[in-house]
Amino acid sequence: MKRQARESDGSGDMIKGIKGVKDLLPEETPQWRLIEETARRWALVYGFHEIRVPIFEVTALFARSIGASTDIVEKEMYTFQDRDGTSLTLRPEGTAGTVRAYIEHNRAADPLPQKYFYSGPMFRHERPQAGRLRQFHQFGVESFGTADPRADVEVIALLWRILSDLKLPALTLEINNLGDAADRDVYRPRLVAYLKQQEDKLCGNCRRRIDANPLRVLDCKVPECRAATDDAPRLADGLSDKARAHFGSVLAGLDALKIPYSLNHRLVRGLDYYGLTTFEVTSTSLGAQNAVGAGGRYDGLVETLGGPVTPAVGFAVGLERMAMMLPETVSVNESVTVYVAGFGDRGSAAGFSVLEELRVAGICAVTDFRPGSLKSHLRQADRLRSRFALIVGDDEAVKGLAILRNMDTKVQHEVSLTALSSQVSSLLRIS
């Protein structure tokens, strides 16, 4: 149900939410819970454990991990000064904080591998549009301590499982090999030389990126930039045998698990820490912001942030985009089970106790405390799409009874107030 947002009445005293920062109203949260619970359930099945890291960190953490010349660090971070002058930043992604926590708590001293997952809000100052917000939510995983390509396959399989279980439509897994750091060091000047020749055909952003972050130009969505880079030298053509072998094993692993993929030599990702395997899941059902989730291997990051050399691989998915794609057919049933219709002095007093008794028994029960007739209570029960109404007027209360009415069939049963929750429970089971 779409509701018209309320406009200010002109008196200027209505405070609104921030642009690109959305409320999730009760109509939407059941779907969100389904997404979060599905992700969490599969992560646990795959042997990942939940970590909760802070929403803000010192700015240097993100600058050093994500990379100073990335879009995120250059122009998208919410950075502010703490009272003592320390520069702090609202987290734009979850990997940096997870790695920081991993190092700070000396987790590397415990047996490896260690596999973590997280879920929560992220913040980037981007132009708000469908599927792109300033506060958005990600679910992500990080697997530390395994260089084996099967660890890459494991996180991709988990991502694929979550998205498939939610029946998200028209998904494609794109994958690429970014090689190791030495491969990229050899490749970068070749690419830069090529991009300099094409400079006048590139968008302003990409012209800036030629020196700062040349690989990122390959990922640009502007059609002119794509055309201008069609014949660019390819990283894949100059990779070490080791990087090739790793990627070959990842693809073989995906084949073995019957996870379909397509190779995309342009896929480079916006963050600096990725190497070797990099992947993204897109959907044609999403429109312009078509990426659902993405990830890759980041074997150098733990060391960059001051920890021991630790191979690692992970992904993050956007919950807003998953929610946009969730089929309408996935309905989440949150209807009320019992509406307690207590009326009259004694009836409403009895109803008040009964309400609590049903809740203690784990039955979803509601009422309306405003005084009303039986008729108005039944209208409320209908409005709330309650399956049953439990009617307690003064007469019933005096007799120690209540009437359980099936709101659909209108069939009614008498129940005793002294054995209420057990009698109601068994009636609910058979109707």
Closer to ligand ATP by Cβ: residue 93 or 396: 93
Question: Cβ 316 to ligand ATP, closest distance in Å?
Answer: 4
Q: How many CB atoms lie within 10 A of CB 16?
A: 9
Q: Does 320 participate in binding ligand ATP (rule CB under 6 A)?
A: yes
Q: With CB under 6 A as the contact rule, which of the stretches 123-131, 205-213, 231-239, 413-421 interacts with ligand ATP? A: 123-131
Question: Cβ 93 to ligand ATP, closest distance in Å?
Answer: 5
Residue nearest to ligand ATP (CB): 318
Q: What share of the chain is helix, strand, coil (3-state, %, to 5)?
A: 40, 20, 35
Q: With CB under 6 A as the contact rule, which of the stretches 260-268, 315-323, 357-365, 421-429 interacts with ligand ATP? A: 315-323
Query: CA 283 to CA 323: how far, in whole Å?
Result: 13
By rule CB under 6 A, what count of residues binds ligand ATP? 19
Per CB under 6 A, the list member of 97, 179, 270, 300 interacting with ligand ATP is 270
Closer to ligand ATP by Cβ: residue 154 or 174: 174
Per CB under 6 A, the list member of 39, 77, 163, 294 interacting with ligand ATP is 294
> Cα-flanking dihedrals φ and ψ of residue 407, to 5°?
-70, -20
Q: Does 267 participate in binding ligand ATP (rule CB under 6 A)?
A: no
Q: Does 318 participate in binding ligand ATP (rule CB under 6 A)?
A: yes
Q: Does 74 participate in binding ligand ATP (rule CB under 6 A)?
A: no
Q: Are 403 and 412 in contact (CB under 8 A)?
A: yes
Question: Cβ 171 to ligand ATP, closest distance in Å?
Answer: 12
Closer to ligand ATP by Cβ: residue 67 or 131: 131
Query: CA 84 to CA 95: how far, in whole Å?
Result: 26
Closer to ligand ATP by Cβ: residue 34 or 366: 34
Helical residues (DSSP H) of 305-393, grouped into ranges:
319-325, 345-360, 374-383
Closer to ligand ATP by Cβ: residue 136 or 343: 136
Based on the number of CB atoms within 10 Å of its own CB, is 352 exposed (0-12), middle (13-18) or buried (19 or more)?
Answer: middle
Q: Are 225 and 217 in contact (CB under 8 A)?
A: yes
Within residues 87-106, the interface with ligand ATP by CB under 6 A covers 93
Q: Does 124 participate in binding ligand ATP (rule CB under 6 A)?
A: yes
Query: CA 253 to CA 251: how far, in whole Å?
Result: 5
222, two tokens: 């502007």
Question: Cβ 199 to ligand ATP, closest distance in Å?
Answer: 24
Within residues 339-378, the interface with ligand ATP by CB under 6 A covers none
First to last CA, the chain: 29
Interacting residues of 268 by C-beta distance below 8 A, sequence separation 6+:
176, 178, 215, 216, 218, 219, 274, 278
Question: Cβ 280 to ligand ATP, closest distance in Å?
Answer: 7
Closer to ligand ATP by Cβ: residue 295 or 300: 295
Query: Burial code of 381-416, b = ≥16 C-beta within 10 A, e = fewer?
Result: beebebbbbbbbbbebbeeebbebbebeeeeeeebe
Give Cα separations from 372 to 323, 342, 345, 358, 376 (angstroms). 39, 9, 11, 21, 6
Sheet holding 87-90, edge to edge: 56-58, 87-90, 79-81
Within residues 126-145, the interface with ligand ATP by CB under 6 A covers 126, 131-133, 136, 138
Within residues 178-197, the interface with ligand ATP by CB under 6 A covers none
Closer to ligand ATP by Cβ: residue 243 or 292: 292
Angle (nearest 5°) at CA 300 between 297 and 305: 125
Residues that bind ligand ATP (CB under 6 A): 93, 124, 126, 131-133, 136, 138, 270, 289, 291-294, 316-318, 320-321
